[in-house]
Amino acid sequence: MDNTKLPKDGFTGLKENWKSDILSGFTIFLIALPLCIGIAIASGAPPMAGLFAGIVGGILASILGGSYVTINGPAAGLIAVVVNSINVLGGGDPKLGFELTLAAIVIAGIIQIILGLLKAGNLSVYFPGSVIHGMMAAIGIIIISKQAHVLLGVTPEAKSIIGLLGEIPTSLMKFNPEIAIIGIAGIIILILLPMIKTDWAKRIPGPLVVVLVGMGIGMYFDLEDQHTFTFLQQTYEVGPKNLVNLPAHITDGFTTPNFSKVFTLDFFLMMITIMLVASIESLLTATAIDKLDPYKRTSNMDKELISKGAGNFFLGMIGGLPIIAEVVRSSANINNGAKTRWSNFFHGLFLLVFIALFPEVLHKIPLSALSAILIMVGFKLASPKEFKHTYEKGMDQMIVFLVTIILTLVEDLLVGVFAGIVVEILLLLYHGVPMKSIFKADFSVESSDNNHIVTIRKTLIFSNYLSVKRVLYSLPLGGNVTIALVDISVVGHTTMEYLQDFIFYYEGNGGKVIVEGLEKLTPLSDHPQATRKLVNK
């Protein structure tokens, strides 16, 4: 691709692309507004915490970031993390738990900055693909388990995730008709709207339609006034408690962190979980969005960590949720014609202006409308397709996927992810990976003119790929690269994905990549990225 056609960065890029970036930023603002509020409420945090995250993620993190068209803000993937932190640290006191969680976010942000300065932008390499997908599927299930009751207007008795899932049938029997109508209408809208194939329908933000329809139905049911109604000889109560509750002024939403438990084990575990999940999700999103970028630009992952760290430090100090680069909003940003990081900036600026000038409008949003949006987000994360796709990659990946999900639901996210990684390593040992090759790759590089041969021996798996990755991405662009797999016994599923990513990156920048030796290995399934091993015949 001709680099002269690339959009300029900085203020030159703003001058050249302000129209497309403002339009895309405004569209993303319309999508982000209900999500910021809904994610905050689902996290057990004040609604303003989510709005602060959208503002800071847009305005501050976009300026410091290393990506070009990603959108920063609160995300569904962090709901389970924040909920757990508030519950564990607060010991039943949600206000105290939130203040202590803010302190964890502050320190997590500092560590992200340090990791970025130490060039640790390859952090996500150490997490197998099936563990990441299992983590996200578990988060989707957690969201559904909590939000189903909100959508139906019922307060569940259970506290655990398994208990909440088991109580959904009971809530279906005890649903509040007016609240459920709003939530079910939102679900129907989000299902039917994508089925309309016209261009105008594709440009309408589904979450915004759900919120507007929900507000209209809520006004018809007079949710702003506390009252009761009778349906099928049953009496139900509705009122302002079923609507978003925001402070009158944006500054009234500020909350300061509480550092009183900094040196406790619980605090350390919550802080580490926030830092890891926020970092991994951001790095994975930036990688995914680079593939969608029509200009084939490559994000600076170290700057991504620094920008998210700075944003999280600031948000923890004022009372905001942690931020990541969010994949759905980022994809929509590209589809709406964004050219530079200024679209992210404008989305945050529009959020700030709207909240400062029209906070009373947000108070009319029904909670069940937001729960409908979140349930659909959760369903996408844990859809049957995710299970099917993982199964197609091989039974080994399915085992890792399920172990991560089950232990995340039964214990917590950190336990689930750790268990998934351990099971992945055990399976790789079973498939023939020598113990000494778990964390150290055996490889060499030869270069002559524009031809580069990277020879890899023994094994190539997620836990020893980092040193290989550094070499591959340091090769001069535009050349011919041969990745020769010699006397190799196992190539893991995750590294098959990473090799595909490298080929996409290198050939997208004018080079040519050939992988030799894969044909000698037997894939564990028909999937092109399945784990491959040497089978002695």
105: closest CA among 66, 132, 72, 78? 78
The Cα–Cα gap between 375 and 58 comes to 25
Residues of the chain with pLDDT under 70: 1-4, 537
Q: Residue 65 CB: number of other CB atoms within 10 A? A: 27
Beta-bridge partner residues of 72:
325
Please report which residue ranges of 204-341 form alpha helices under DSSP H. 206-220, 265-292, 301-318, 327-335
Residue 248, C-beta contacts closer than 8 angstroms, at least 6 positions apart:
359
Cα(first)–Cα(last) distance of the chain, in Å? 46
The Cα–Cα gap between 106 and 240 comes to 33
Q: DSSP of 402-421, one letter per residue?
A: HHHHHHHHHT-HHHHHHHHH
Task: Write the pLDDT tens digit of every residue in 362-373.
Answer: 999 999 999 999
**In the 8-state DSSP scheme, what is residue 243?**
B
Largest Cα–Cα distance in the chain? Answer: 84
The type of residue at 352 is: L
Q: E strand or H helix at 125, and its extent? A: none
Q: Angle at the Cα of 500 (from 4 to 537), degrees rounded to 5? A: 155
The type of residue at 378 is: G
Let me know: does 403 contact 417? Beta carbons within 8 Å.
Answer: no
Pair of tokens at residue 168: 């959904």
Look up the CATH superfamily of 435-533.
STAS domain (3.30.750.24)
In this prediction, residue 163 carries a pLDDT of 95
The Cα–Cα gap between 414 and 398 comes to 19
In this prediction, residue 307 carries a pLDDT of 97
Pair of tokens at residue 3: 């680099």
**In the 8-state DSSP scheme, what is residue 297?**
-
Q: Residue 167 CB: number of other CB atoms within 10 A? A: 18
Task: Write the pLDDT tens digit of every residue in 241-276.
Answer: 999 998 888 889 999 999 999 999 999 999 999 999
Let me know: does 64 contact 399? Beta carbons within 8 Å.
Answer: no
Sorted by where each begins, the domain ranges of the chain are: 10-376, 435-533
Residue 441, C-beta contacts closer than 8 angstroms, at least 6 positions apart:
456, 458, 459, 460, 464, 465, 467, 468
The Cα–Cα gap between 94 and 89 comes to 9
Residue where the block lists tokens 């609160």: 74
Q: E strand or H helix at 445, and its extent? A: strand 442-448
Residue where the block lists tokens 């099971």: 423
In this prediction, residue 537 carries a pLDDT of 47
